[in-house]
A and B are shown apart, each in its own frame.
Chain A
């Protein structure tokens, strides 16, 4: 199965992304508690791309694809043509420094890394693909 969702890079569209991910996972019988954390991880990744690669420009778009190649594996691909924001290269700040510096970023990356099993970046036909793998 392969599901696609295209959306403008406005943060108000995050709700649509969450609904799309939730609906797709529930259709595929993923347990509710896992659905919630996967929805959260995709919200975090898509908002990162919207903010850092597209400055929330609603005329720019990104595509989210959900693939379900094996019974217990889901692959989520975020495809766009902005600059690459590779969270693997972003050091996770510790919680103390987050509190002290009042940094509101960094938490999302911690969440995604703890929820997803694999985070990879590739480039195909000039497009950036961020591929997240999750075993359920």
Chain B
């Protein structure tokens, strides 16, 4: 259902989410973010280019990290959301709570700016 790949670029951890995140697969996203945080990354980018679908279970994972990331001064930026996926974030007004950018370079730029 979902496959998650991690790679590091310019000191940031990039989590690429491929496929669909629903109540059965949201745990995979949770584990990937937990690993990235556990390994001490201060900038986490979530590549959503190949994310075809997300339900509230996946959105809940992002929400559940907001406070921890704030406390640990970790910047997380999502990028490359397809319109149908972005629409789900918008229905809930999550675009105001999470950092979302168009592409990787903008996401990295924002993560760097916020880290200062």
Which A residues fall within an 8 A CB radius of B? 10-12, 14-15, 18, 32-33, 36-37, 40, 43-44, 47, 50-51, 95, 98-100, 102-105, 107-108, 110-111, 114-115
Contact = CB atoms under 8 A, between A and B. Distances in A.
A34 to B, nearest CB: 10
B55 A43 contact: yes
B66 A44 contact: no
SS class of chain A's interface: helix, strand, loop or mixed? Answer: helix
Interface of B: 1, 20, 22-24, 26, 53, 55-57, 59-61, 63-64, 66-67, 83-84, 87-88, 91-93, 97
SS class of chain B's interface: helix, strand, loop or mixed? Answer: helix
A111 B60 CA distance: 12
A47 B67 CA distance: 26
Given A33-B84, A47-B22, A110-B92, A104 B60 contact: yes
A123 to B, nearest CB: 25
Nearest to B20: A15
A124 B91 CA distance: 33
Given A11-B23, A15-B20, A98-B63, A47 B92 contact: no
A98 B55 CA distance: 16
Given A14-B23, A43-B55, 7 more contacts: A15-B20, A33-B84, A47-B23, A104-B61, A107-B56, A107-B60, A114-B91
